[in-house]
A and B are shown apart, each in its own frame.
Chain A
Amino acid sequence: MKAWLSHHRQSAALAWRRIAATPVNSLLSLLAIGIALALPAGGQMLLSAARQLAGTASAVPQISVFMAATADRAMANDVRARLQQQPGVKQLQFLAREETLARMKASGGLREVIEALPANPFPDAFVVGVRDERPEAMEKLATELRKLAGVEHVQLDSAWVRRLDALLKLGRSALLLLASLLGCGLVAISFGIIRMQVLTQRAEIELSRLLGATEAYVRRPFLYHGSLLGLGGGLVAWLLVAASTLWLRAPLAELAGMYEINLVLKGLDGIETGLLLSFAALLGWLGAVFSLRQTLQD
Chain B
Amino acid sequence: MIRFDRVSKRYPPGVDALLDLSFEVGDGKMLLVGGHSGAGKSTLLKLIAGIEKSTSGAVLVGGQNLGSLAPSALPYYRRRIGMVFQDQKLLFDRSVFENVMLPLSISGFPPREAGSRVRAALDKVGLGKREKALPIMLSGGEQQRLAIARAVVGRPDLLLADEPTAHLDADTASDVARIFLEFNRVGVSLLVATHVHELFPGGDRLMLDHGRRVG
Contacts and interface: CB of A to CB of B under 8 A. Distances in A.
A147 interface: no
Contact of B89 (A6, A7, A10, A207): A207
Interface residues of A, number: 18
Nearest to B111: A6
B49 interface: yes
Interface string B69-81: 0001001111100
A212 interface: yes
A157 B51 CA distance: 76
B106 A217 contact: yes
A39 to B, nearest CB: 38
Given A211-B102, A212-B106, A217-B106, A203 B75 contact: no
A208 interface: yes
Contacts of B56: none
Contacts of A206: 89
Interface size of B as a range: 20 to 34
B104 to A, nearest CB: 10
B159 interface: no
Contact of B102 (A2, A4, A208): A208
Interface string A1-42: 011101100100000000000000000000000000000000
A6 B108 CA distance: 8
B155 to A, nearest CB: 13
B12 interface: no
Provide the main secondary structure of the chain A interface: helix
Contacts of A212: 75-79, 103, 106-107
A272 interface: no
A61 to B, nearest CB: 62
A213 B111 contact: no
A209 B74 CA distance: 10
B79 A3 contact: no
Of A3, A210, A212, chain B has the most CB atoms within 10 Å of the CB of A212
A206 B49 CA distance: 14
B174 interface: no
Contacts of B72: 214
Contacts of B23: none
Given A2-B110, A207-B91, A210-B89, A7 B105 contact: yes
A260 interface: no
Contact of B106 (A2, A4, A203, A213): A213
A3 B106 contact: no
Nearest to B51: A210
B83 interface: yes
Contacts of A4: 108
Interface in A197-223: 203-204, 206-214, 217
B143 to A, nearest CB: 14
Contacts of B51: 210
A209 B75 CA distance: 7
From A6, A207, A213, name the one whose CB has the most chain B CB atoms within 10 angstroms: A207
A207 B108 contact: no
Contacts of B75: 209, 212-214, 217
Contacts of B89: 203, 206-207, 210
A211 B106 contact: yes
Given A7-B105, A10-B105, A203-B91, A211 B78 contact: yes
A217 B105 CA distance: 10
A18 to B, nearest CB: 11
A210 B106 contact: no
Contacts of A208: 102, 106
A211 B91 contact: no
A214 B106 CA distance: 8
A6 B91 contact: no
A249 to B, nearest CB: 48
B108 A7 contact: yes
Contacts of B91: 203-204, 207
28 contacts: A3-B109, A3-B110, A4-B108, A6-B108, A6-B111, A7-B105, A7-B108, A10-B105, A203-B89, A203-B91, A204-B91, A206-B89, A207-B89, A210-B49, A210-B78, A210-B83, A211-B79, A211-B102, A211-B103, A211-B150, A212-B75, A212-B77, A212-B78, A212-B79, A212-B106, A214-B75, A217-B75, A217-B106
Given A7-B105, A210-B78, A212-B103, 6 more contacts: A2-B110, A3-B108, A204-B91, A207-B102, A208-B102, A217-B106
- Interface pairs A-B: 5 shortest CB-CB: A3-B108, A212-B79, A212-B78, A212-B75, A213-B106
Interface of B: 49, 51, 72, 75-79, 83, 85, 89, 91, 102-103, 105-111, 150
